[in-house]
Amino acid sequence: MRLFQRAALSVLALALVGLPAAVSSPSVAAVSGAAVTGVPCLKNTAATARAEAPKWRRYADTSAVTAKDLAALPAAETRRSVVNREVRPSLAARITLPVYVHVIKGKHRGEKNPAGRTRVRQLIATLNGGMAGVQSGYSTPLRYRFALKHVDYTKNDAWYHAYLFGKRDVQAKRKLHRGGPRTLNLYISGGGPRGTPILGWARFPWQYAAAPKLDSVSVNVAGMRGGSARGYNLGDTVIHETGHWLGLYHTFQGGCGGGGDLVADTQAEAEPSFGCDVSRDTCPADPGHDPVHNFMDYSLDACMMLFTPGQVQRIDAAFAKWR
């Protein structure tokens, strides 16, 4: 069924292709403490000025990436030779991480029971499938699996509609967070204020030390399998956001110049993909087309289906260093 949905939606994807206009929200910078001179998340081009991103993708899903963030895990530490020699011998072939799922309930219609235990288990299964590479034979499997430890439910309308990294979001996470750096705290909510939804957001692993209680992944219930986020409701948001939690940037990080996402085998990308145009090439000087099938782009769920070997190397290095 999953493969059938993806095949059918790939046709829809071509009709829904949008052009990027995503920007980091003011509250993201305020909470993260990122300087105005921080490294931009994507390159602003004429195309971005001419069109709007889909409503689900209008805001960045991480804090603004700064030079300090980029220095936390430089590319030199994620080269294959270094990772194989210095990192992987210390990692188990399979690493299973506990997951505490915190379901926030709102007070309006459709918000009072956003995700029962069956949907929660489906979400964890989708996450583990992405880690295992089941969606594509071209995806590099990861060693990480996630085991559901506990599900709790909290009725709080303010938290349900909390803005990413905003005051209410911080309150919820400081109250509900469980475990340490190797525990995934997964929050399911309405994904921001009504009318300005966000599919999800996450923290990077090197941010744990400064704010352990905020270490988390958040997923909008609309982006879960069968949710109301048309084109983004096969559940891949949890894979994308957990990719950030494990240490990955967006494939369009830094645009066409510089080190980009600090992964050597993801093609440079000037701006995010909001569809599934496989011929797209926003950085002609870089060999190859845009990585629209990569889990760390903004493509529709029908299109997102793989991690590269370089991304897996980076995740292993980040896990060993920061988790």
The catalytic site residues sit at: 241
Query: Please, are residues 96 and 148 in contact by the beta-carbon 8 Å criterion?
Result: no
Burial of 303 (0-12, 13-18, 19+ CB in 10 A): buried
Are 188 and 235 in contact by the 8 Å Cβ rule? The answer is no
Print burial letters for 90-113: b (CB count within 10 Å at least 16), e (below 16).
eeeeeeebbbbbbbbbbeeeebee
The count of C-alpha atoms lying within 13 angstroms of the C-alpha of 77, restricted to the half-sphere facing its C-beta, is 16
Say how many C-beta atoms besides its own lie within 10 A of residue 138's C-beta.
Answer: 11
Sequence-ordered list of residues with C-beta below 8 angstroms from that of 284, at least 6 positions apart, any chain: none
Gap between the Cα atoms of 79 and 61, Å rounded:
26
Q: How far apart are CA 254 and CA 274, in angstroms?
A: 17
Count of CB atoms within 10 A of residue 126's CB? Answer: 22
| Start-to-end Cα distance in the chain | 35
Beta-strand ranges (E) seen in the chain are: 95-105, 144-155, 184-189, 200-202, 217-220
Radius of gyration in angstroms for the set of CA atoms belonging to the chain, rounded to a whole number: 18
Kindly tell me the burial class for residue 88, based on how many C-beta atoms sit within 10 Å of its own C-beta (0-12, 13-18, 19 or more).
Answer: middle
